[in-house]
């Protein structure tokens, strides 16, 4: 599982000027790990030939 350490989350919180408790830092580190795992799975997909889009559906007026 990919993860951020408690200290990395604390540094991000400080840069964003967000005060967080120790419990919040530990919890958020775990949640970031889940998010990073999901992104890693998407990066494993073979998307050769798939056109980039800004919206999943065509935009029409």
Q: What is the CATH number of the domain that holds 34?
A: 1.10.20
Q: In the prediction, which pLDDT does 23 show?
A: 96
Residue 61, domain member (yes or no)? no
Identify the domain containing residue 32 by its residue range: 6-43
Residue 30, domain member (yes or no)? yes
Q: In the prediction, which pLDDT does 58 show?
A: 79
Dist. CA 25–CA 5, nearest whole Å:
9
Percent of the chain exceeding pLDDT 90 equals 62
Residue 19, domain member (yes or no)? yes
Residue 17, domain member (yes or no)? yes
Report DSSP letters for 20-49, one per residue: --HHHHHHHHHHHHHHHHHHHHHHTS--TT
Residue 1, domain member (yes or no)? no
HSE (side-chain half, CA atoms, 13 Å) at 27? 5
Residue with the two structure tokens 């200290």: 7
Dist. CA 61–CA 44, nearest whole Å:
36
List pLDDT tens digits, range 34-52.
999 999 998 999 989 888 8
Residue 36, domain member (yes or no)? yes
Q: In the prediction, which pLDDT does 52 show?
A: 84
Going by pLDDT thresholds of 50, 70 and 90, the confidence category of residue 1 is: low
Our count of domains for the chain comes to: 1
Look at 47 and 21; give whichever has higher pLDDT: 21
């Amino acid at each position: 599982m990919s993860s951020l350490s408690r200290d990395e989350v604390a540094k991000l919180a400080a840069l964003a000027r967000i005060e967080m408790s120790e419990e919040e830092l530990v919890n958020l580190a775990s949640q970031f790990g889940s998010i990073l795992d999901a992104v890693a799975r998407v990066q494993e997909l073979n998307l050769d030939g798939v056109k980039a889009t800004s919206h999943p559906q065509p935009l029409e007026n």
